[in-house]
Structure 1
Amino acid sequence: MTHTHENTTSPKDAPEPAPGVAELEAQERRLVFRRFGHDDAWALGSLLVELARERQAPVAIDIRRAGQQLFHAALPGSTPDNDAWIDRKRRVVERYGSASYLVGARLRAKGTTFEESSRLDPDRYAAHGGSFPVIVEGAGVIGTITVSGLPQLQDHLLVVEALEHYLADQG
């Protein structure tokens, strides 16, 4: 299967500096749910749609729990390729239990790439930013929240921003 190349603007070209591995790991420790159900997926997905619409971001959004898709939205400008990217990034989170951007960052910090090191089919797995684990206290990773359509760092940061807002409102 051939995929168009998702916008992978390097961190040095991004409007803000790319977070390091320690900061990315801290995000995962901080962005934890007490519980996560259908209503949470709807509310969080709706928040992501609202944030993306404010920015006119051409993204697709996907939220899953235990393998079930609980939320999906494709905003104007997104394409079927974004859904393929969602699947590839989501599989990385499901396999490694960490954000897709963090998986790639850990390997870049070691001087290699996911494609060189993972030995996984690049048509099925992509350690590009935009998929974040749904982590529940006492249960661990139970799902994924994924955005595709922006440069990979911006996909990641959009998910983190939505999680920060949502969890602050829950706290």
Structure 2
Amino acid sequence: MDGYPSFEEIVAEEAELQLASFTHEDALALGMRLLDLARADGLPVAVDVRKGAQQVFHAALPGSSADNDSWIRRKVRVVERCGTSSLAVGQLWRERGTTFAQASSLDPTRFAAAGGCVPVLVRGVGPVGTATVSGLPEVEDHRLVVRALRAHLAAAGNRA
């Protein structure tokens, strides 16, 4: 699809973004990084960072709404269930000629394979949390999270 990275590109990007560790302080720092990037660009988004099942950081900027919070919960459920980003899950099924909703038979009011939620991966451990943005077109939501993760890695020297 035009403008969408392939499933393989998204999965390769996730492998690149693995952290050495992920503490509550890291979750807060990542949340602030997301918030700072969104503020700098004047983006009307809600952001969310979780360590395991615990929501450690959540903020909503002007122009966002409670609908964005609902989208965040739905995207997080997809990542927790599938272990890969919500954009990757959606793209996998698009490349197969269908949709996640059709293929999974999961309730679309509870699960959304729309871009914007990325698993927080610790090298040698796997998924330990999520970072999510809602409020922009799905590829832009995803890219904002990726930018924040890259900045977090660079600032922390957190490559394992």
**TM tier, smaller:** over 0.9
Match of 1:78 among 50, 64, 84: 64
Tell me what 2:79 maps to: 93
Match of 2:40 among 38, 54, 59: 54
Match of 2:11 among 25, 31, 53: 25
Tell me what 2:136 maps to: 150
Residue identity in the other structure for 1:123 = T
How many matched pairs?
157
Q: Distance in 1 between matches of 2:55 and 2:95?
A: 32
Cα deviation, 1:91-146, whole Å, max 9, x if unaligned, reads 00000000000000011111111111011000000000000001112211011101
- What TM-score, normalized to structure 1? 0.89
CA positional deviation for 1:170: 1.9
Tell me what 2:104 maps to: 118
CA positional deviation for 1:150: 0.4
Q: Distance in 1 between matches of 2:65 and 2:78?
A: 21
Q: Structure 1: state its 5+ residue gaps.
A: 1-10
- RMSD between aligned alpha carbons? 0.9
| Identical counterparts, % of pairs | 54
CA positional deviation for 1:160: 0.5
SS in 2 for 1:35: coil
Q: Distance in 2 between matches of 1:38 and 1:114?
A: 32
Q: Distance in 2 between matches of 1:124 and 1:22?
A: 26
Q: Distance in 1 between matches of 2:102 and 2:28?
A: 37
Q: Distance in 2 between matches of 1:43 and 1:142?
A: 16
Q: Distance in 2 between matches of 1:123 and 1:131?
A: 16
SS in 1 for 2:48: strand
CA positional deviation for 1:34: 0.5
